[in-house]
Amino acid sequence: MTRACAILVVLLLAGCDAETARSTADEALYVQGKRAFQRLCAGCHEVRTRVHLTGPYLVGVEGRRAGSVKGFDYSVAMRDFGLEWDNDALDAFLADPRTTIPGTKMAIEPLDDPAERAAVIYFITQR
């Protein structure tokens, strides 16, 4: 169970209304994702501005075709991948980038922890 889910359950059991409990759990997941993003991703990716770093900016990544941001020099593998980024595609890629898109230039090690991946994805898609 993710930390956010555990918080949601505790708040619901404590008598909070569902909307308040969900909002608190979402905030906890967002903070967890922000911390993980800062530790693992922020050195190469920007989430607040449309500025490329070593990697492309991630503003608006959800629903965008992989390898499609203008002005970034993607690998051929990423440009030809053809998939639209959604939660499932982001999860698979972060779980094992080199297997999901063989030939990608992204140098991150796989994120093995599903809860950590979910938190990072939540953070980057809530922009």
Positions of the chain with pLDDT lower than 50, given as ranges: 10-12, 21
Quick: pLDDT tens for 55-65. 999 999 999 99
* 3-class DSSP string for 11-36: HHHCCCCHHHHHHHHHHHHHHHHHHH
Question: Percentage of the chain with pLDDT > 70?
Answer: 80
pTM to 2 decimals? 0.80
Nearest alpha carbon to residue 100 among 115, 85, 116: 85
Tokens of 67: 């390898």
pLDDT in tens, 3-25: 656 655 544 455 555 565 457 67
Top-tier CATH class for 3-125:
mainly alpha
| Domain coordinates in residue numbering, the chain | 3-125
